[in-house]
């Protein structure tokens, strides 16, 4: 066989192999482009492209002030952005050492201080049997059983794990040992109220001021640019302020309750107000994780209101104010917008998450580029977008209900190697929706409880039926409370029992019920 003939055979074999690989890839790429184009061509009932409407909303913040644009919060974001940039330039031990360095701005220091104190308080709490219902701390408990005794403070926490009580806390405990004018519980409350006082009152005042002046929390192009980040990275990376929000909610939840236990109305309201301001914040371009943190602050606020109501420290005006604030919170609208934000984030994160892989070796880079070229990522994007829009279509934001059957249908995507990544994301969306539903029940319970307290103050007792609240104490039943799930109200001696469940058909271990006892 001549050399020329061998070269021809080799070339033919190479072309055949190339065709075997390339033709399917081109077909896959064309199919992916079609699927993604089909999804992006979906329109609303008014004839506008869904993707276009989402982009408009992403670039149009709600009315009012963004919490993250206030100086205190923006300084924290700037420091984190600079730190992340520095970490990206380091590796090995240098990267590890730099990542362990705490943030130094005022907000981070305040949150770290209060988080550490909350952990100390949790160490003193009595052990709770999770199988017992009602569980301490739930809506159907008094919550006071979570307070440790003063003797427990003197002995130190059972779950110390070889960690001594901080000297600052020990000195406060010792100071109250000789106080004969205080009850055992009074000493406990005095200890923790003093312990939780901020070492930086100016920063705490600035935190309260920023919460009072803000109406929403979320990503905007302006916030990205102010951090010194490239504008093209907008919506590529979730903003890292979630730990601060949770620390704030827990702190003011604790202090408001303790003041209520002492019967201090004005101080209770002073501590409760920042928590209510935080719970009232709207989301903007939220991811699911941000949505969960936001509704967590609302759960903490609802829990605090329940315990405070039981202490009879609020007057009718206070209750009406709380009732009005919770009535303005539309949980289903929040869920809808959070899912939009998650879809936008998913659309960008496919590129961001895999971009770093291009820095690997030749074969690794080649494989990743082949995956991108094949359209495999676009197929997963299309599957995610289709499912996300299906679940959003199941939400009635005006009626504040959700068609759960339609939601599950949209969530149940077929198993295929072409949507493996999508199937890792969408089930998490379903679990999150249940959390939003439960928070909606918490919100409704607060609204009804405030109206019931106002009725009792004027009429002398709680009503036999909830309908008696309308219209003087409640303009209408909370939207969605009667048209979705179950709601029961039963007067008992000296009080009542209120049970709400948006998804009563779920298994008992899903625990969707909100039980509110007074």
The answer to whether residue 481 is domain-embedded is yes
Q: Are residues 44 and 164 in the same domain?
A: no
Give the residue carrying structure tokens 């209510």: 276
275 contacts: CB under 8 Å, gap ≥ 6: 248, 249, 252, 253, 256, 297, 300, 301, 304
Judge if the upstream peptide bond of residue 295 is cis by omega within 30 degrees of 0: no
The answer to whether residue 7 is domain-embedded is no
Burial class (CB in 10 A: 0-12, 13-18, 19+), 418: middle
The answer to whether residue 446 is domain-embedded is yes
Window from 4-13, 267-276, 331-340, 386-395 with minimum mean pLDDT:
4-13
Residue 259 has pLDDT above 80, yes or no: yes
Q: Are residues 45 and 138 in the same domain?
A: no
Q: Write the DSSP assignment of 472-518 as a string of letters.
A: TT-SSPPTTTTTSSEEEEEEETTEEEEEEES-TTS-GGG---EEEE-
The answer to whether residue 8 is domain-embedded is no
Average pLDDT of span 191-205: 93
Q: Are residues 365 and 426 in the same domain?
A: yes
Round to whole Å and give the CA distance between 91 and 95: 5
Is 62:284 a contact under the CB 8 Å cutoff?
yes
pLDDT band at residue 313 using 50, 70 and 90 as cut-offs: very high
Say what the pLDDT of residue 188 is: 95
Q: Are residues 46 and 80 in the same domain?
A: no
Window from 33-37, 247-251, 334-338 with minimum mean pLDDT:
33-37
- For the chain, how many structural domains are there in total? 2
The answer to whether residue 2 is domain-embedded is no
Say what the pLDDT of residue 273 is: 97
**pLDDT by residue (tens digit) across 142-193?**
678 888 999 989 888 865 556 788 899 999 999 999 888 999 999 999 999 9
Q: Are residues 443 and 481 in the same domain?
A: yes
Q: Are residues 364 and 495 in the same domain?
A: yes
pLDDT band at residue 510 using 50, 70 and 90 as cut-offs: low
Window from 156-165, 310-319, 324-333 with minimum mean pLDDT:
156-165
Structure-derived torsion over alpha carbons of residues 419, 422, 426, 427, reported in degrees to the nearest 10:
70
Average pLDDT of span 24-40: 78
Sheet bearing 514-517, strands edge to edge:
486-492, 495-501, 514-517
Q: Are residues 307 and 406 in the same domain?
A: no
The answer to whether residue 4 is domain-embedded is no
Residue scoring higher pLDDT (135 or 62): 62
Task: Compute the chain's Rg from CA coordinates.
Answer: 28
Long-range interactions of 170-178: CB distance < 8 A, separation 24+:
176/150
Judge if the upstream peptide bond of residue 471 is cis by omega within 30 degrees of 0: yes
Say what the pLDDT of residue 351 is: 65
Is 106:200 a contact under the CB 8 Å cutoff?
yes
Round to whole Å and give the CA distance between 517 and 310: 9
Please count the other Cβ atoms lying within 10 Å of the Cβ belonging to residue 199. 11
Per DSSP, the three-state class of 180 is coil
**Helix 376-393 to helix 404-411 angle, to the nearest 10 degrees?**
180
Mean pLDDT taken over the chain: 84
Q: Are residues 386 and 302 in the same domain?
A: no
**pLDDT by residue (tens digit) across 70-117?**
999 988 888 888 887 787 777 777 777 777 777 788 998 999 899 999
Residue 262 has pLDDT above 90, yes or no: yes
The answer to whether residue 3 is domain-embedded is no
Round to whole Å and give the CA distance between 128 and 146: 9
Domain boundary, last residue among 314, 341, 357: 314
Write down the pTM of the prediction: 0.89
Is 441:421 a contact under the CB 8 Å cutoff?
no
Say what the pLDDT of residue 142 is: 66
**pLDDT by residue (tens digit) across 387-430?**
889 999 999 999 898 888 888 888 888 788 777 777 777 877 87
Q: Are residues 252 and 305 in the same domain?
A: yes
Q: What count of Cα atoms within 13 Å lies in the side-chain half-sphere of residue 145? A: 12
Per DSSP, the three-state class of 49 is strand
**Residue range(s) defining the domain that contains residue 249:** 64-88+105-314
Domain boundary, last residue among 287, 314, 341: 314
**Helix 362-374 to helix 376-393 angle, to the nearest 10 degrees?**
50
Q: Are residues 236 and 260 in the same domain?
A: yes
Domain boundary, last residue among 279, 314, 349: 314
**pLDDT by residue (tens digit) across 358-371?**
555 666 666 666 66
Which of 438, 451, 437 lies closest to 489 in space, CA to CA?
A: 451
Average pLDDT of span 9-29: 63
Backbone conformation region of residue 235, classed left if phi is above 0, alpha if psi is from -120 to 50, else beta: left
Q: Are residues 296 and 346 in the same domain?
A: no
pLDDT band at residue 462 using 50, 70 and 90 as cut-offs: very high
Q: Are residues 378 and 298 in the same domain?
A: no
Is 216:66 a contact under the CB 8 Å cutoff?
yes
Burial class (CB in 10 A: 0-12, 13-18, 19+), 128: middle
The answer to whether residue 326 is domain-embedded is no
Average pLDDT of span 269-292: 92
């Amino acid at each position: 066989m001549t050399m020329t003939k061998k070269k021809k055979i080799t070339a033919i074999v190479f072309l055949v192999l190339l065709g075997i690989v390339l033709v399917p890839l081109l077909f896959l790429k064309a199919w992916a482009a079609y699927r993604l184009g089909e999804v992006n061509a979906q329109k609303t009932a008014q004839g506008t492209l869904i993707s276009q409407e989402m982009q408009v909303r992403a670039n149009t913040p709600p009315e009012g002030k963004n919490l993250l644009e206030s100086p205190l919060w923006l300084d924290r974001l700037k420091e984190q952005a600079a730190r992340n940039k520095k970490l990206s330039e380091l590796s090995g031990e240098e990267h590890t050492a730099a990542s362990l360095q705490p943030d130094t701005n005022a907000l981070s220091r305040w949150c770290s201080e209060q988080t550490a104190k909350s952990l100390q308080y949790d160490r003193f709490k009595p052990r709770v049997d999770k199988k017992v219902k009602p569980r301490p701390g739930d809506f159907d408990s008094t919550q006071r059983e979570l307070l440790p005794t003063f003797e427990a403070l003197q002995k130190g926490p059972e779950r110390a794990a070889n960690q001594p009580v901080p000297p600052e806390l020990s000195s406060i405990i010792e100071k109250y040992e000789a106080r004969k004018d205080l009850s055992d519980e009074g000493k406990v409350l005095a200890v923790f109220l003093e312990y939780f006082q901020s070492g930086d009152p100016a920063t705490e005042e600035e935190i309260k001021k920023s919460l009072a002046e803000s109406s929403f929390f979320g990503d905007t192009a302006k916030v990205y640019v102010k951090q010194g980040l490239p504008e093209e990275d907008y919506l590529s990376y979730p903003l890292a302020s979630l730990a601060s929000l949770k620390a704030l909610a827990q702190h003011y939840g604790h202090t408001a309750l303790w003041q209520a236990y002492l019967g201090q109305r004005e101080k209770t309201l002073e501590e409760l107000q920042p928590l209510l301001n935080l719970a009232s914040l709207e989301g903007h371009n939220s991811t699911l994780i941000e949505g969960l943190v936001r509704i967590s602050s609302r759960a903490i606020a609802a829990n605090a209101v329940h315990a405070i109501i039981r202490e009879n420290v609020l007057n009718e005006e206070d209750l009406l104010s709380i009732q009005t604030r919770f009535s303005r919170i539309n949980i289903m609208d929040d869920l809808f917008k959070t899912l939009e934000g998650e879809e936008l984030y998913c659309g960008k994160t496919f590129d961001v998450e895999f971009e770093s892989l291009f820095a690997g070796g030749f074969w690794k880079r080649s494989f990743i580029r082949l995956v991108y070229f094949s359209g495999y990522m676009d197929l997963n994007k299309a599957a995610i977008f289709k499912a996300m829009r299906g679940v959003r279509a199941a939400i009635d934001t005006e009626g504040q209900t959700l068609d759960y059957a339609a939601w599950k249908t949209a969530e149940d995507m077929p198993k295929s190697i072409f949507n493996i990544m999508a199937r890792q994301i969408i089930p998490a969306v379903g679990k999150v929706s249940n959390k939003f539903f439960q928070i909606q029940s918490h919100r409704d319970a607060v609204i009804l409880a405030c109206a019931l307290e106002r009725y009792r103050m004027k009429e002398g007792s709680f009503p036999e039926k909830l309908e008696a609240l309308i219209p003087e104490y409640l303009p209408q039943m909370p939207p969605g409370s009667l048209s979705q799930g179950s709601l029961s109200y039963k007067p008992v001696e000296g009080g009542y029992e209120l049970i709400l469940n948006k998804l009563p058909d779920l298994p008992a271990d899903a625990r969707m019920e909100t039980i509110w006892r007074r």
